[in-house]
Structure 1
């Protein structure tokens, strides 16, 4: 993904059927970072009206992988990640902001902070994630 721009990154995301189902969009991409956003809608919530943890984990996973792709190139897969939920996610938009903290030739370690944005524009941290992304290049 290092040779891609924001528009190309969105096309990659749009090629993932699940990302289309969730309605995800890439809003920032490049220089070791990526931001993925998802509009909060009723069908993405759990029984108490909070954004489902699976949607939050999805956003973390993809933001982490896209951020790593800016340093490793487009052929990458998540090797693993962990997530800590800080507070219930409420608001109108989920924003997953990922930044590469270390990148080598074949793998990158990425941190992702996940915020919900309210109607008033206020941000609330709802989760923190960290992951390892592996290059799948064969040469």
Structure 2
């Protein structure tokens, strides 16, 4: 099989899981399957989803040297990227169809050098054509960044 065919199969598998999450929270095995088949930027970040359900998505990233600025702090773009991924996936689960981020406003509150960054997306507004998500990013329980993500439904 060629890599294009494998990529299509992986995307189909992920789409099935997200449709399922529109109906009910994913269980541990389903989360593991989704994480094992991570593609694109989520895979590059090392993003690992820990909870996926309508109304809430949680994920975590273990800080590694590739995510740091030259002076050893997590790059602000990493926080924005985590928020974009987690909030967009929450939007897909909520809408039951593809959504894309159209605005991401992230405030950086504290620096992080190592460890795990946890993200939690919850809805502020879930309309038919657009959504607004609040994404809290925490390290050792402390709020380190706060994002507001607006998404638009493509369907």
Using the size of structure 2 for normalisation, the TM-score is 0.75
Q: Which of 44, 55, 70 pairs up with 1:21?
A: 44
User: What stretches of structure 2 of length at least 5 have no aligned partner?
Assistant: 1-17
Report how many aligned residue pairs link the two structures: 132
1:136 aligns with 2:150: no
Q: How does 1:109-120 map to 2 (within 5 A)?
A: 109-117=132-140
Partner SS, residue 20 of structure 1: helix
When Rg is computed on C-alpha atoms for both structures, the one with the higher figure is 2
RMSD: 2.2
> Of 60, 78, 84, which aligns to 2:83?
60
Q: Indicate the structure with greater strand content.
A: 1
Superposed, 1:66-85 pairs within 5 Å as 66-85=89-108
Scaled by the length of structure 1, the TM-score of the pair is: 0.83
Unaligned runs of 5+ in 1: 118-122
Ranked by relative contact order (alpha carbons within 8 Å, sequence separation 6 or more), the top structure is: 1
Alignment partner of 1:3 is 2:26: no
More helix by share: 2
